[in-house]
Amino acid sequence: MAFSLLVWFAIWEVVGQLDLVSLLPPFSEVITAFPEVVSSGTFADAAWITLQAFLIGMGLSFAIGIGVGMLMGTSRAVGSVMGMWVNIFESSPLTAIVPALMALLGFGLETMIVTVFLFSVWVIALDTQVGVERVNPSLVEMGRSFGATKRVLYSRIVLHAALPELLAGIRLGLIRGLKGVIIGQLLIAVLGVGYLFELYSRNFLMPEFWALLIILFTFAFMASEAVAYFERKVAFYASSR
């Protein structure tokens, strides 16, 4: 089915050759721009700082999101209180918060890390909560009857049982985190891949712009599919819990 993308690329080539849309250069020019974009020093710097912000922010999200999610899933009180906050932020345009972060933390890496964190942590917490809530109580009772300590109970049984939802949350969190880092950079406008986009579009270097966009989209898609792969691997027990 992905072969339909090839059809779209062909259409793109035609549109570009016929110069129908000024923004769209022929696809072939975009392809030739790839090596230029990737080998440029600015790309390496931009990619590196983007990756840093993304990985650190996501790491924080995983740690805090999964932890809070497990708490929310086990305690009804915590679940209902935290749930209200998590839901509020999960459906809000967090983009609006970025200018405040810029005022508080400046125009650097810290702001980007916090942006990634804020964009991704809510959905991770929510899906972890759902996963923990869905764990069959008999599994927990079974563990306790065999003398499992709380730590073992949570790390071995609950975590594994909740894995399908957890992975779904992580996949969505990755996507949102990536959106966060890009939006953050578009607003900060002096760093990272977002800055590169600004640069290319300002100078109307369209092949380079689209090449960079495709690189970014491919990265996002591959990260998402990597997690989806693991999701599929654990799906076999998802329905029989």
Residues that bind another protein (CB under 8 A): 1-2, 4-5, 7-8, 21-23, 77, 80-82, 84-85, 87-89, 91-100, 102-104, 175, 178-179, 181-183, 186-187, 193-194, 197-198, 201, 209, 213, 216-217, 220-221, 224
CB of 16 to another protein, least distance (A): 15
Contact at 8 Å (CB) between 235 and 167? no
Distance between CA atoms of residues 73 and 78, nearest Å: 8
Distance between CA atoms of residues 103 and 111, nearest Å: 9
For another protein, the closer of residues 33 and 157 by Cβ is: 33
Backbone phi, then psi, for 93, in 5-degree steps? -75, 85
Report the candidate in 56, 82, 59, 57 with the shortest Cα–Cα distance to residue 69. 82
CB of 199 to another protein, least distance (A): 11
Q: What is the DSSP letter of 191?
A: S
CB of 238 to another protein, least distance (A): 16
The one-letter amino acid code at 157 reads: I
The one-letter amino acid code at 110 reads: E
CB of 79 to another protein, least distance (A): 9
For another protein, the closer of residues 65 and 192 by Cβ is: 192
For another protein, the closer of residues 24 and 70 by Cβ is: 24
Distance between CA atoms of residues 48 and 183, nearest Å: 17
CB of 135 to another protein, least distance (A): 19
Q: Residues 12, 13, 15, 21: is their CA dihedral positive or negative?
A: positive
